Amino acid sequence: MATEVTVPVLGESISEATIGEWLKKPGEAVKADEPIVSLETDKVAIEVPSPVAGVMGEQIAKPGDTVNVGALIALIETGGAAAAPAAAPAAKAEAAATVPAQSAPVAAPAPAAPAPVASGDQVMTLSPSVRRLVLEYGLDPSSIKGSGRDGRLTKEDVLAAAKNQPAAAPAPAALPTTEDSVPSAERKEERVRMTRLRQTIAKRLKEAQDTAAILTTFNDVDMTEVMAARAKYKDLFEKKHGVRLGFMGFFVKAAVMALKDIPSVNASIEGDEIIYRDYADISVAVSAPNGLVVPVIRDAQKLSVAGIEKTIGDFGKRAKDGTLKMEEMKGGTFTISNGGVFGSLMSTPIINPPQSAVLGLHRIDERPVVRDGQIVIRPMMYLALSYDHRLIDGREAVTFLVALKNAIEDPTRLLIDL
């Protein structure tokens, strides 16, 4: 008996997915609720579990196929028929292996006929080996007397003629070559179909460039005070809250305060109207195996630094496991992308439509700065705010970054909402 495996409900407004890869081969045993196939949607990759225990049967959909919700994609064999899928391929292979032995012997290919070579008004027939020597030594075959049957040239005739010919004029010097100008014989190319997630990322980023008037403004921030606070309290923080104290908690909290002061950065354009919000749903870019995903911290204005860190930590873990839900990546009013974890010094992040701004964080470098007339070394980070200039003026963008900078350089502001 076979049990059908269908595409599960993927979330609101998601009607189709792409087969990523089959995690089980036909004939392999599967357990109930064991993942058997990964599906890629516009937002995330998910794994579909087996509804029953049995043996992997026919896989109706292939990797790369687009399938609708509810579509039949595979069969799980249970009971006595479980061994059938494994036996069938083996029987086919055995039958295929016996066919050549029963068929008539295949005749050996005939040796290649000697290649004709034109020389003046005559056409001479040369064997492949003789032809190769003639071309190698640059000889005129009509000027060589053949000693073979019917006056044909032999290898010995060509070698003797080459030995007796006068020394050729030196060839012009070849242009110098380098390893870069001569393609290597080991160069390879691989053509891989874009995943559905990567296609969606590409489409949305290009859409942002085509529709929004994107501009980026920069500032830098002294991380001394935040780093000192983190070093002082990180052990107590982790002991009490069960999560590490990172920098994102400070930046999300500072961004929420700045968004309250500059509401246009948290707004969006819809048609000929501007939508302003009294809440902040912060999208946080998180690295996943198939690319960046952007889950949303809902009502970040209500969360403490500890609450923010717990939420981000949970997102990061589930992004790696592929268990983020669709609804967790929808919406969002403002995005923070931390390229610094990968070593980025500076970037111009692209807006995540329909949002109007995105904040880019970067790596922390010790740099010389002037404080009270003295040159000192400080841990500095570049901040980048890309924004839709149709909605946000340059003055507002700069004011937002300055407010964020002030809160990070003096974390006490985060406590007294200043």
Q: Render pLDDT for 225-257 as a digit per residue (tens, 0 to 9).
A: 999 999 999 999 999 999 999 999 999 999 999
Chain centroid offset of residue 101 CA: 48
Residue 343's identity, in one-letter code, is G
User: What crossing angle do the helices spanning 305-321 and 248-261 adopt, rounded to 10°?
Assistant: 120
Cα 258 to Cα 300: distance, rounded to the nearest angstrom: 13
Residue 214's identity, in one-letter code, is I
Q: Mark whether 84 and 220 lie in a shared domain.
A: no
Highest-confidence range of 138-147, 314-323, 338-347, by mean pLDDT? 338-347
Cα 1 to Cα 160: distance, rounded to the nearest angstrom: 79
- Per-residue pLDDT, 364: 95
What integer is the mean pLDDT of 307-331? Answer: 86
Distance linking the first and last C-alpha atoms of the chain: 68
Among 98, 392, 94, 97, CA closest to 266: 392
pLDDT tens across 338-379, in order? 988 889 999 999 998 889 999 999 999 999 999 999 999 999
- Residue 398 inside a domain? The answer is yes
> Higher confidence at residue 317 or residue 182?
317
- Residue 316 inside a domain? The answer is yes
Residues 6 or more apart whose CB falls under 8 angstroms from that of 65 comprise 18, 19
- Residue 190 inside a domain? The answer is no
Domain boundary at 43, 61, 89, which?
A: 89
CB 85 within 8 A of CB 26: yes
Q: Mark whether 78 and 222 lie in a shared domain.
A: no
Domain boundary at 74, 89, 104, which?
A: 89
- Residue 181 inside a domain? The answer is no
- Residue 193 inside a domain? The answer is no
Residue 108 has pLDDT above 50, yes or no: no
What integer is the mean pLDDT of 314-325? Answer: 84
- Per-residue pLDDT, 122: 46
Kindly list the catalytic residues: 389, 393
CATH at 32: 2.40.50.100
> Higher confidence at residue 184 or residue 207?
207
Residue 332's identity, in one-letter code, is G
Burial class (CB in 10 A: 0-12, 13-18, 19+), 348: middle
Q: Percent of the chain, pLDDT > 70?
A: 79
Q: What is the CA radius of gyration of the chain?
A: 35
Pairing of strands 334-338, 282-284: parallel
Pairing of strands 54-59, 29-30: antiparallel
- Per-residue pLDDT, 362: 95
Q: Mark whether 395 and 253 lie in a shared domain.
A: yes
pLDDT tens across 113-126, in order? 444 554 444 446 66
Residue 16's identity, in one-letter code, is E
Among 345, 349, 366, CA closest to 357: 349
- Residue 347 inside a domain? The answer is yes
Residues forming beta bridges with residue 3, ordered by sequence position:
76
CB 347 within 8 A of CB 360: yes
What integer is the mean pLDDT of 287-302? Answer: 84
The three-state (H, E, C) secondary structure of 219-236, written as one string:
EEEECHHHHHHHHHHHHH
| Torsion angle, alpha carbons of 17, 22, 26, 29, to 10 | -110
Cα 55 to Cα 73: distance, rounded to the nearest angstrom: 15
3-state helix, strand, coil split of the chain in percent (to 5) is 35, 25, 35
CATH at 395: 3.30.559.10
What integer is the mean pLDDT of 159-164? Answer: 80
Residue 335 has pLDDT above 90, yes or no: yes
Domain extent for 238 = 214-416
- Residue 32 inside a domain? The answer is yes
CA atoms within 13 A on the CB side of 190: 3
Cα 383 to Cα 348: distance, rounded to the nearest angstrom: 10
Cα 323 to Cα 315: distance, rounded to the nearest angstrom: 9
Domain boundary at 89, 121, 142, which?
A: 89
Q: Mark whether 85 and 218 lie in a shared domain.
A: no
Q: Mark whether 268 and 404 lie in a shared domain.
A: yes
Instruction: Quote the number of domains for the chain.
Output: 2
Confidence class for position 407, pLDDT limits 50, 70, 90: very high
What integer is the mean pLDDT of 3-14? Answer: 77
- Per-residue pLDDT, 113: 46
Confidence class for position 220, pLDDT limits 50, 70, 90: very high
Confidence class for position 183, pLDDT limits 50, 70, 90: low
Residues 6 or more apart whose CB falls under 8 angstroms from that of 70 comprise 6, 7
- Per-residue pLDDT, 359: 96
> Higher confidence at residue 222 or residue 197?
222
CB 75 within 8 A of CB 37: no
> Higher confidence at residue 29 or residue 116?
29
What integer is the mean pLDDT of 58-63? Answer: 88
pLDDT tens across 260-291, in order? 999 999 999 998 999 999 999 999 988 776 66
- Per-residue pLDDT, 91: 45
- Residue 94 inside a domain? The answer is no
Residue 380's identity, in one-letter code, is M
Q: Mark whether 84 and 223 lie in a shared domain.
A: no
How much is the mean pLDDT over the chain?
81
- Per-residue pLDDT, 12: 57
